[in-house]
Structure 1
Amino acid sequence: MTPFTFHTTPSICFGAGLLGRLGEIAAPLLGARILIVTDPGMMATDMPMKAEHVLREAGAEVHVFHDVTSDPTESVVISARDRMCALSATGVLGLGGGSSLDVAKLAAALAASGASLQDSYGIGNLPAGRLPLVLVPTTAGTGSEVTPIAIVTTGENEKSGVVSPVLLPDLAVLDPETTRGLPPHVTAATGIDAIVHAIESYCSTSTNNNPMSRALACEALRLMGQSLEAAVMTPGNMSARSDMLLGSLLAGQSFANSPVAAVHALAYPIGGRFKVPHGLSNALVLPHVLRFNIETAPKSYDKIAPILFPDLAGAGDMGSDFCDALSALSARCGLPTRLRDVGIDRDCLHVLAADALKQTRLLMNNPRKLVETDALRIYEAAW
């Protein structure tokens, strides 16, 4: 067996109602002065207030940073870091979607180590040291609670990643009840994002693609294949919500160790330039990138297609049918399926293709080598 390394969050709690038990679960880890990192959308719910209340009941001094934006910028990360330092925070609780969790992870590391954000981009450039950290995801999509990755919007249109085991939290708390109020389009987009994580991880050409990641990806696809549409169509279906949240976590563990590839590389410029949510950006290019890959590397996709879509078992043209099924899934979940549907002009596709080729950290894991003309053709197919 080829040697591999597998990193994940050391402790995970999963169950309905856990948000109300943060005082006993999280407070002992986080200490006397806790900063909750969240976003304005979450502040419109009762969840931050509930978390704040139970942590205070446990005897902690609690403050809230709620300025996280979608696709957070460097200034947001620095503001969160500065708030932690000003409070002499002893621990950080990230509460929300992937953006809030990424900011909480990265700011907690920068606050403890004193490292420069600019020097931290890339793989393994973050020095040791991080404030105690607990993450509570409220969407079933990014898997950020179990990944050593934080994505930051740099400049006006580009995204960069910080990749380091330092970013793995001490504890992830997953409460399916926190996802109950998600609008259908958010449930759909974040769910497709998690499905992409599992697909790309399983098929990754990373030298660290390993049996554990592949097994986790398969189980993630099984869970999400049977539950995504139910979670979208019947938001109160807590069985489906639970399956999606667990599937997202498993997919996160998978791609944290066997990294994603060209779907994400082509999705990032869509989000960076046109502010399309990350999950939807992935959904828009997913079937078209897979059609490109399947031409030369069909075997891995043939193995996972019937896990996500059991009806494909025994299909004559498994690869093509898999791509068609993914497109149909997005449509049934009410997502736009063409780049033009989200306001992207055809004249912009050349710029997107050039931007995508800058994502070398991701493209190196793709099953088929991709050059700029290939990226352009994929965008044209998605347009």
Structure 2
Amino acid sequence: MTAFTFRTAPRIISQIGGLAQLASLCADLGITRPLIVTDPGIVGCGIAARAMTVLNQGGLSPALFDKVAADPPVAMVEAAVAFARQSQADGIIGLGGGSSLDTAKVVALLTRSTQGITEIFGTDMAIGGRLPLIQVPTTAGTGSEVTWVSVVTNEAHEKKAVYTPQLLPDIALLDAELTVGMPAKVTAATALDAMVHAIEGFTSRTRKNPMADCFAQKGLALLATHLPRVLANGGDLESRAAMLEGSMLGGMAFVNASVAAIHALAYPLGARFHVPHGHSNAIVMGPVLRFNLPAAESLYAQLAPCLLPGQSFATPAAAAEAFVTAMEAMAGWGGLETRLSALGVTADDIPSMAEEVVTQIQRLIATNPRPMSHADVCELYRQVL
């Protein structure tokens, strides 16, 4: 049996209406001056105000940083760290989607560190501890609330990852009420991102392990079952809660087994064209899954029941084909655009994006079930141009 290490957050709370516990959770961690790290959208829809009210009523002295941007730029993250120091925060609360949660993790780490953000790019480069950290996702997609990775964008519009165990939060709080009202397009994009986490974790060529496999299969099944229900009825709290749990399980899977080529091809779309991360994954997942089919047939066959429960297949090959076909059909759910040209990408952009994939993001290609060349990446992009 292959040796592996499995890490996750030490405390996970899934409760509809659980935001009401936020002040008491801060008290459990000794936080008196929490800083909420979030984005303007979360402020605009009133969720940030609800969190601030809970904290104020709990006798705490909260502050709010609400300038998180998608694909978090280095300069914005550094501004958030400076704000945390200025406000004398003694704990961090990430509130929002993946960008807010990723930013919150780095802020918790760097606020009391002498390191700069560029010094912690890579694996296990961080020194020392962090401030207490609570993560509260408002989308069912990234799984960032249970991972030890943050992805930021440097000045050259390249995605840079920080991998270090210190990024794992003390508490992940899943409250389905916070995801109600999310547009169908965002609901679908984030859910498909989470499904890709599960799939790529399960099929990882280098870090696949039995614990991650269990979480991947359960997470994928929850998301596949409940996404159609939520798209049909956005107020279905039970299905919203199930999707948050599925996203979290997908996060546990991928961070302990790695993502692969779907994410690698998605990153340039976010960094260069500001396509939301989940949407980027949704666009390229079909071509990549089909490219991987010859190498991952038996694994896709094992995942087929997660998408197609109760169906029988004559052979593993038939099950794997049904799995890929089902995933391809989901790419446009929620009204998502399925062509790169609709998002501003041209044929001239493809070679340089492919070069970034096979050089700057080689770590993800290395875990893909099937080796992938620059020419392969170009062809996959062209299939969805």
Equivalent residue, structure 1, for 2:75: 75
Equivalent residue, structure 1, for 2:114: 114
- Per-residue CA distance 1:21-79 (angstroms, 9 max, x = gap): 21222333152211110100000122111111111222211110000001110011101
Q: How much has 1:81 moved relative to structure 2? A: 0.7
Q: How much has 1:13 moved relative to structure 2? A: 0.8
2:205/2:367 contact within 8 Å kept: yes
Task: Give the letter aligned to residue 243 of structure 2.
Answer: M
1:91 partnered with 2:91: yes
> Could you say what secondary structure the match of 1:142 adopts?
coil
Q: How much has 1:113 moved relative to structure 2? A: 2.1
Equivalent residue, structure 1, for 2:11: 11
2:12/2:171 contact within 8 Å kept: yes
1:148 partnered with 2:151: no
Equivalent residue, structure 1, for 2:362: 360
After superposition, where does 1:167-316 map in structure 2 within 5 Å? 167-206=167-206, 208-310=207-309, 313-314=312-313
**Percent identity of equivalent pairs:** 42
2:18/2:175 contact within 8 Å kept: yes
Which one of 363, 375, 378 corresponds to residue 377 of structure 2? 375
Q: How much has 1:2 moved relative to structure 2? A: 1.8
Task: Give the letter aligned to residue 147 of structure 1.
Answer: T
Equivalent residue, structure 1, for 2:166: 166
Bigger shift: residues 71-80 or 327-336: 327-336
Residues in 2 aligned to 1:66 and 1:181: alpha-carbon distance in whole angstroms? 20
Residues 322 and 55 of structure 1: CA distance in aligned 2, closer, same or farther (over 3 Å): same
1:327 partnered with 2:323: no
1:291/1:319 contact within 8 Å kept: no
Unmatched tracts of structure 1, length 5 or more: none
Task: Give the letter aligned to residue 68 of structure 2.
Answer: V
Residues in 2 aligned to 1:30 and 1:253: alpha-carbon distance in whole angstroms? 26
CA RMSD of aligned residues (A): 1.4
Q: How much has 1:268 moved relative to structure 2? A: 0.2
1:312/1:322 contact within 8 Å kept: no
* TM-score, reference length from structure 2: 0.96
> Could you say what secondary structure the match of 2:332 adopts?
helix
- Per-residue CA distance 1:288-337 (angstroms, 9 max, x = gap): 11111112331111110221233654066333332221121222432112
> Could you say what secondary structure the match of 1:36 adopts?
strand
Residues in 2 aligned to 1:54 and 1:318: alpha-carbon distance in whole angstroms? 49
Equivalent residue, structure 2, for 1:336: 337
2:188/2:333 contact within 8 Å kept: no
What count of residue pairs does the alignment treat as equivalent? 382
Task: Give the letter aligned to residue 344 of structure 1.
Answer: V
1:9/1:169 contact within 8 Å kept: yes
Equivalent residue, structure 2, for 1:347: 348
2:223/2:243 contact within 8 Å kept: yes
Task: Give the letter aligned to residue 326 of structure 1.
Answer: M
Residues in 2 aligned to 1:296 and 1:50: alpha-carbon distance in whole angstroms? 48
> Could you say what secondary structure the match of 1:94 adopts?
strand
Residues 182 and 344 of structure 1: CA distance in aligned 2, closer, same or farther (over 3 Å): same
